[in-house]
Structure 1
Amino acid sequence: MRRELVLLSGLTLLPAMIGPLEAEAGGFVVPLCGGGVVTVPGGPSEGPPGPPQGPCCAKGCQSGSSRKRLDRSQ
């Protein structure tokens, strides 16, 4: 019985070892209440809209003096 459990546990971990399977991203069809359907496109994304930025520009700017300072003169 122990051998069967080891085999079963190995088989259950097989999808995690292989990873997700490749799927074609097309679109999906949404049925409407009044009849008919709407096709929502869903393809690979090129990235976020706007100008391309490097990883350096994605961080917040903390070098300005716009932060509140503690009044330590008292």
Structure 2
Amino acid sequence: MIITRKELIKICDRFLADEVSKEEMIHFATTVMFDDEDKYECEDEIVEEILSQWDNLNTQSKINKSNIQTLKNALSEIE
């Protein structure tokens, strides 16, 4: 499965609607980043960098509604 910018926008939407938690976003990022079976692939470096930041203990504190809204807006502009 290829993880695209559109998929990340959908995840951001679900987070903003309180349908997924911060912990679920972190779990998803960890699953993709440490996929030993190559089930997941990032569309590009931008997607990979975002997932890497969500997985990083030092940047997880930045996962909040304000920052996720900003990220979603930026991803939408890139498309």
User: TM-score category by the smaller chain?
Assistant: under 0.3
Considering fraction of residues, name the structure with more strand. 1
1 or 2 for the larger relative contact order (CA 8 Å, sep ≥6)?
2
Q: Which has the larger radius of gyration?
A: 1
